[in-house]
Amino acid sequence: MTIEQQLDELSGLEYPKKVDVVDQVMAEVEKKPYLRPVHGRVNWQRISAIAAAAVVVLVAVNVVVFNNLGHDNGSQGIPVAQDNDWNTIEEEAVDTNNTALPTI
């Protein structure tokens, strides 16, 4: 007999006893509640979409915040001297010169 023929002969091999493990399996399954299948399945597409949306929102917020910071820096810069201040000083000088000096 060839190996193939011998294997064919053996192919009718079956476990010679009727198996019943339902009770044992269900007892195992019931005592491990943390291994219970979750209700429904994990929707990875939904999770990816939410994560992508969160990234977009974060980027938008950062853009807005940094733009606002740039405008604020311009208006809070070093105070510029006003023309009025200089005029005041000149007027004071002129006033001093107008004071009549005593003649000898």
Query: Which stretches of the chain bind other proteins, using CB under 8 A?
Result: 1, 3-4, 6-22, 24-26, 28-30, 35-42
Judged by beta carbon, residue 37 or residue 102, the one nearer other proteins is 37
| CA distances for 9 relative to 5, 12, 13, 15, 72, angstroms | 6, 7, 8, 15, 90
Give the number of residues written for the chain: 104
**Between residues 7 and 49, which has the closer beta carbon with respect to other proteins?**
7
DSSP label of 68: H
Task: Report the alpha-carbon distance of residue 31 to residue 23 in Å, rounded.
Answer: 12
CB of 75 to other proteins, least distance (A): 58
Instruction: For other proteins, give the closer residue by CB, 14 or 83.
Output: 14
Output the smallest distance, CB 40 to other proteins, in A.
Answer: 7
